[in-house]
A and B are shown apart, each in its own frame.
Chain A
Amino acid sequence: MMLEVKNVSVEVSGRLILQGVDMHIRKGEVVVLFGPNGSGKSTLLKTIMGFEGYKVISGEILLGETRIDGLPVEERVKLGLGLMYQHPPQVRGVKLAQIAGRLSGNAGLIKEMSERLSLSSHLSRDINMGFSGGEMKRSELFQLILQDPGLLLLDEPESGVDLENISVMGKVLDGYLKEEGKSALIITHTGYILDYINARKGCVMIDGKMWCVGRPKEIFENIRERGYDKCMGCDDRAQSAR
């Protein structure tokens, strides 16, 4: 097992956001996480990553054999976690090339990936300063590929990206995930990313609880046709979530 989230409840600023969430991701598995706005999807990713202010009040999170809740963010990175931000901050004075160089010692790979993701001219710029929405997402994916984590946490990788660039990003991501043993947890609203990657498992999160598990494309079609209201009335919830 790559990642195990066991009965995890999380508080943010004194508010209970996640309630007894269970989830697991196997080595090599890609899991898609669906859910309405505000249901706690990003909170789950940030909690797994170890962001400040995301307080695990019960349960535990294991990465491989190691219990990671309580570890600092950078320690989790060393253990093989990598996060692609939904809304990355601007970091004035720190160039994309500086971070790229720290993430990978392979200048050839940096050059190749920056070209594939049309970021060559962004390398000399401050991270995310004046980047468009799509440029930020490409820069996030670029950094993540250089970081080379075993488990990728992707928070809406395609939001704000035009169709042409979704295709570029989708192919880069698919190529990476096809490498041996790479796993991912992906939040998506539009579902576009599903056309490029081979995901066999999808989950729905509603009101901070894991609602159901199934085939991602089926779940997505159901949500598209009937919305999340239908999910909430779904009877198989309890057994399928486990």
Chain B
Amino acid sequence: MIEHNRQDNLEGRDRDTIVSTGMDFSEKERSGSFLQQDSGLMFARSLSDGLEIMEIKEALEKDPEAAGYFGANFRSTGRDFDRETEGGYFIRVKRGHTIEFPVQACLFLKQQGFRQKVHNLIVVEEGAKAYIITGCSASHSASEGMHMGISEFFVHNGAYLNFTMIHSWQESVSVKPVSIASVGEEAVFISNYVCLKPVRDITMYPTALLHGRKARTSFNSIILSHPGSLQDVGSRVALQAEETQAEIISRAVSLGGKVVARGHIKAAARNVKGHLECRGLILPEQGSIYAIPEMETDYRDVDLSHEAAIGRINKDEIEYLRCRGLSPREAQSLIVRGFMDVGVLGLPDKLKAEIEELENSTLKAGL
């Protein structure tokens, strides 16, 4: 349970917004929590052996190993990154530890016009396993705000990380996350992205580098796009070692906003497998979806494929459900609900049910 005095600074509405990104203040089924408002830490603590969770600043000061991770994925890819960040979290799961309950983290934007810039490090050591649910959201008061988040993931040999990010912004907020993951031998990295609320614009193109043999990754995104929102969301995977596998699945529903669903898989080793799947539904006339699946290979012995289907809901399906007594509205809502199936996220049952609940409440209001 997060002590009440720590929550006192949160207004009721803000608290609800934070909860809507998966934060459970009771911590009943959580292994650790982190909450940052604008650039200030509200709380950070671990409830589980083998799990460290703290502000990035603290980690860099006291732990040279953490400092070694800082920027490492950018250096290894020859990319530059913004050093003017303030805050962010450091989460490390120690070698061989399986963290039973999800770890929760939230970056909250409160002040009007605030430019939140964070740098997060997530390290899962050899053979360790964890689920992380992170929320990024903005207060009703945070109009004209901006969030830029750098995240670096290090999933070491034989480790497993399921990272679910839930965004819950406001109409006037701009968001630009940048993330790079490095995935070791026989390690698994699952990255889920759920965005159901309005936002001004989001641009993100997280990258995973599978450099260890038999490493696997899945990027799954579920996006609901409201009128006036622009969501340019993609994922990129480089299959750099033999027998690595990647899957990129995106499901986008436009309620009038614009979605650009990108995906890029590059085969840079032999005997690798990659699959892209993009499905999009446009409900009103004015929505738009732009699906851009890309694949490239330098080798012959690879298995890369993609499928994409975008457009309106098939009229025959609506008619079929009406024949079973559903109104056109009910039929549409049932199809959309099924389309945004959280089953693809590979979550434990409890967490899956929580996210389903978030989806249900958003869809009920949105459709």
Contact = CB atoms under 8 A, between A and B. Distances in A.
A5 interface: no
Nearest to A90: B317
Interface-centre pick from A94, A98, A103, A143 (highest chain B CB count, 10 A): A94
Contacts of B334: 94, 98
A106 B316 CA distance: 28
A130 interface: no
Nearest to B325: A77
A64 interface: no
Contacts of A127: 320
Given A52-B319, A89-B320, A78 B325 contact: yes
B321 A99 contact: yes
Interface in A145-170: 147
B323 A73 contact: yes
Interface string A84-106: 01001111111100110011000
Contacts of A83: 323
Contact of A91 (B315, B327, B335): B335
Interface stretch (B102-110, B173-181, B336-344): B336-344
A99 to B, nearest CB: 6
A49 B322 CA distance: 10
Contacts of B5: none
A2 to B, nearest CB: 19
Contacts of B316: 89
B326 interface: yes
A183 B274 CA distance: 53
A31 B340 CA distance: 43
Give chain B's interface secondary structure class: helix
Contacts of B327: 74
A103 B325 CA distance: 8
B320 A52 contact: no
Given A92-B338, A126-B338, A102 B315 contact: no
Nearest to A128: B320
B331 to A, nearest CB: 9
A90 B309 CA distance: 15
Contacts, number: 62
A99 B324 CA distance: 8
Nearest to A82: B323
Contacts of A147: 324-325
Contact of A93 (B325, B328, B341): B341
A72 interface: yes
A126 B324 CA distance: 15
A211 B327 CA distance: 36
B314 interface: yes
A131 interface: no
A73 B322 contact: yes
A78 B334 CA distance: 19
B321 A72 contact: no
B322 A77 contact: yes
Nearest to A74: B322
A51 interface: yes
Contact of B338 (A85, A88, A93): A93
Interface string A47-82: 001011000000000000000000011100110001
A93 B324 contact: no
Nearest to B341: A93
A94 B323 contact: no
Contacts of B339: 92-93
Interface in B284-330: 314-317, 319-328
Interface-centre pick from B321, B337, B339, B341 (highest chain A CB count, 10 A): B321
B320 A77 contact: no
Contacts of A74: 322, 325-328
A149 to B, nearest CB: 10
A171 B264 CA distance: 53
Nearest to A103: B324
Nearest to B323: A83
A103 B314 CA distance: 22
Contacts of B322: 72-74, 77
A103 B341 CA distance: 22
A113 B221 CA distance: 37
Contacts of A89: 314, 316-317, 320
Nearest to B314: A89
Contact of A94 (B328, B338, B340): B338
A90 B317 CA distance: 7
A122 to B, nearest CB: 16
A77 B337 contact: no
A187 to B, nearest CB: 16
B325 A49 contact: no
A175 to B, nearest CB: 21
A195 B322 CA distance: 31
A73 B319 contact: yes
A73 B317 CA distance: 13
A49 B325 CA distance: 11
Nearest to B316: A89
Nearest to B336: A93
A93 to B, nearest CB: 2
Given A52-B315, A102-B326, A127-B320, 16 more contacts: A72-B322, A72-B328, A73-B322, A74-B326, A74-B327, A88-B320, A89-B317, A89-B320, A91-B320, A92-B338, A93-B335, A94-B334, A99-B324, A103-B325, A126-B338, A143-B324
8 contacts: A51-B319, A74-B325, A74-B326, A74-B328, A89-B316, A89-B320, A95-B338, A98-B338
- Sorted from nearest, which 7 A-B pairs have the closest CB atoms? A93-B338, A73-B322, A89-B316, A77-B325, A94-B338, A93-B339, A74-B322
